[in-house]
Chains A and B, each alone.
Chain A
C-alpha cells in the first residue's frame, strides 16, 4: 500500500523567511496530493493541493511542487508570518477518485517573531 514520508518533523524559521516541507510517496498510481494545516485545537484544513498532471501550483505565499518521476512533492511558504505556525500534513490519494488519502506524519512549523 501507499506510504507517505514527511520531513522535517519540526521546523523553526524567523518571521519573513521561507519554509520548505518535503514529502515522498511510494505508489506511482497516486494522482492527487493535498496539504492540510492544523492549528492548535482545530481540525486540519486544506490549504493547497496539486494533481499529478501539474508540476507546480501557487496561491499567494504558498506553493506546491510535484516531481512524479522521483515521487516527491514539497510545500513552500514564503514571507512566513506568526500565523503560519501550525502542524502541516501532506497526503497522497490511494483511490482512483482521489477521495481517500494516506497522510504523512506531520511537520510542526514554528515562526519566530
Chain B
C-alpha cells in the first residue's frame, strides 16, 4: 500500500522559531510537493522537487525553503515562523513515469502563536 507520512499531525510553535516539517514516501517516487491548505483557497503549491537535491518554487514560496537530500524525503523549513503561516501543510509525491496521480500525506496542522 502506497504511503506518504508526515512527521507530525499537529504542531504549535512560537513566532520567530525555525520549524521543520518532514515528509517521507515509500513509493520510490521522483516528484515531491509541499502545499498549504487554507479555507476557501484550496491547495497552494509552496515548493516542489523532481529529483534529489533539486527544488523549484511554487506559487507561494516566500518565507519557506526546502531540502531534498534523499529521494524518499522532502523537508519544508520555515526559517522564522510567523502567525500568517498558521495553516494545514500537505506533502505529496508522484511518479515521473506513467500516470499523474499525486499521493498525499495526512497533513500537518501548524499553529504559530
Complex Cα–Cα for A89 and B43 (A): 9
Range of interface residues on B (Cβ < 8 Å): 20 to 34
Complex Cα–Cα for A98 and B40 (A): 24
Task: Say yes or no for B62: interface residue by CB 8 A criterion.
Answer: no
Contacts of B106 in A (CB 8 A): 41-43
- Can you list, as one digit per residue, whether each of B34-46 has a CB less than 8 Å from chain A (1) or not (0)? 0100001111110
Contacts of A100 in B (CB 8 A): 33, 45, 48
With contacts A41-B106, A44-B90 taken as known, whether A103 is within 8 angstroms of B43 at the C-beta atoms is yes
Contacts of A6 in B (CB 8 A): 42
- Can you list, as one digit per residue, whether each of A66-107 has a CB less than 8 Å from chain B (1) or not (0)? 000000000000000000000001000100011111111110
Complex Cα–Cα for A98 and B50 (A): 13
Which of B35, B92, B100, B104 has most chain A Cβ within 10 Å? B100
B90 contacts A43, C-beta separation under 8 Å: yes
Contact check: which of A1, A89, A97, A98 meets B42 at CB < 8 Å?
A89
Contacts of A49 in B (CB 8 A): 100-101
Chain A residue at minimal CB-CB distance from B43: A103
Closest 4 CB pairs of A and B: A43-B104, A103-B43, A105-B42, A103-B42
Q: Measuring CB to CB, which residues of chain B are less than 8 angstroms from any residue of chain A?
A: 4, 31, 33, 35, 40-45, 48, 50, 59, 90, 92, 94, 96, 100-102, 104-107
